[in-house]
Homo-oligomer: A and B are copies of this chain.
Amino acid sequence: MTLDLVIRNKCFGGWQQQWDHYSDVLNCTMRFAVFLPPQVEEGDPVPVLYWLSGLTCTDENFMQKSGAQRIAAELGMAIVAPDTSPRGADVPDDPNQDYDLGLGAGFYVNATEPPWNQHYQMYDYIADELPSLIESQFPVTQQRAIAGHSMGGHGALVIALRNPQRYSSVSAFSPISHPSDCPWGQKAFAHYLGPDDGINWQQYDACELLALSTPHLPVLIDQGTADQFLSEQLKPGALLKAAEQAGYPISLRMQPDYDHSYYFIASFIEEHLRFHARWFDH
């Protein structure tokens, strides 16, 4: 396992870093960002929040725009932000170069259809390979939380609901709640997974997974009411309904006037980090 340091910046008394490594799962070199809080330099291993970003993002967007490091430094929490798809010259992209398929749009699934299946195995990368790497190479505990925005909110919910024993809590901003039933999700799933056969799409759809997932995790979701993607793509109502039918308690807060941008995330990220920190302590 070779890890190459790309850059590091002192930040809120800790270190913001970017690392490159070869991913066996994705079959390409991947970059991730990590914030290590100051407690690490005092020799204390810290829990980890995995942050999954949305369409078009890289490992950098959240670290540059959320302001999360301030709270992570206070709470003694590492944050790991992976890229949103495999990358590199031999990784296929959408022939139409649309922003919602291919590079920057991995949708956190294991693709089964060519040409995507050679690299687009983001589910396994996020759920298994990356945490194994982080836990073997960085001074962290095995306490994990997972969160994300939009496509990354979908990814966080799906990965947590399928692996509840691996995470102590999950949160999301403006998640794509029901990808089997919205244009972004249907397009991506059709390309990556093939036609909906009643199983292959459902295993990556939070609305379908809620009824199957035990034990229940603490779930916090924030959704802006002025989000331009609210009714067509994000569908928080579907998630609420599915949770109610499944008897799965979730906290979904509609935030008046907030939109889909990082200004929304920055405004509430402190509450998400404190939420995750409470469950680390359990």
Measured CB to CB, the residues of A under 8 A from B are: 9-13, 16, 64-65, 67, 69-70, 224, 226, 255-259, 261-264, 266-267
> In the complex, what residues of B have CB within 8 A of residue A261's CB?
9
**Chain B proximity of A150: nearest CB distance (Å):** 15
Stoichiometry, as copies per complex, reads: 2
> In the complex, what residues of B have CB within 8 A of residue A267's CB?
10-13, 69-70
> In the complex, what residues of B have CB within 8 A of residue A259's CB?
9-10
Q: Given that A16-B263, A263-B16 are known contacts, is A258 also in contact with B65, CB under 8 Å in the complex?
A: no
> Does the CB pair B64–A11 fall under 8 Å?
no
Majority DSSP secondary structure for residues of A touching B: mixed
| Cα distance, A261 to B267, chains bound together (Å) | 22
| Cα distance, A257 to B38, chains bound together (Å) | 13
**Chain B proximity of A108: nearest CB distance (Å):** 25
Q: Could you give 20 example pairs across A and B, Cβ below 8 Å? A: A9-B258, A9-B259, A9-B261, A9-B263, A10-B255, A10-B256, A10-B257, A10-B258, A10-B263, A16-B263, A64-B64, A64-B65, A64-B262, A65-B65, A67-B67, A67-B266, A69-B263, A69-B267, A70-B266, A70-B267
> Does the CB pair A69–B10 fall under 8 Å?
no
**Chain B proximity of A61: nearest CB distance (Å):** 10
> Does the CB pair B224–A12 fall under 8 Å?
no
> In the complex, what residues of B have CB within 8 A of residue A258's CB?
9-10
A270 to B, closest residue via Cβ:
B70
A68 to B, closest residue via Cβ:
B67
| Cα distance, A70 to B255, chains bound together (Å) | 16
> In the complex, what residues of B have CB within 8 A of residue A65's CB?
64-65
Q: Which residue from B226, B256, B266 sits with its C-beta under 8 Å from A12?
A: B266
| Cα distance, A88 to B247, chains bound together (Å) | 57
> In the complex, what residues of B have CB within 8 A of residue A16's CB?
263
A255 to B, closest residue via Cβ:
B10
Q: Residue among A11, A12, A262 with the most chain B CB within 10 A?
A: A11
| Cα distance, A263 to B70, chains bound together (Å) | 10
> Does the CB pair A11–B224 fall under 8 Å?
no
Kindly list 13 other residue pairs between chains A and B, CB separation below 8 angstroms, not including A9-B263, A10-B258, A70-B266. A9-B258, A9-B261, A10-B224, A10-B226, A10-B259, A10-B263, A11-B266, A12-B266, A12-B267, A13-B267, A65-B65, A67-B70, A67-B266
**Chain B proximity of A185: nearest CB distance (Å):** 25
| Cα distance, A215 to B262, chains bound together (Å) | 41
| Cα distance, A68 to B64, chains bound together (Å) | 13
**Chain B proximity of A256: nearest CB distance (Å):** 8
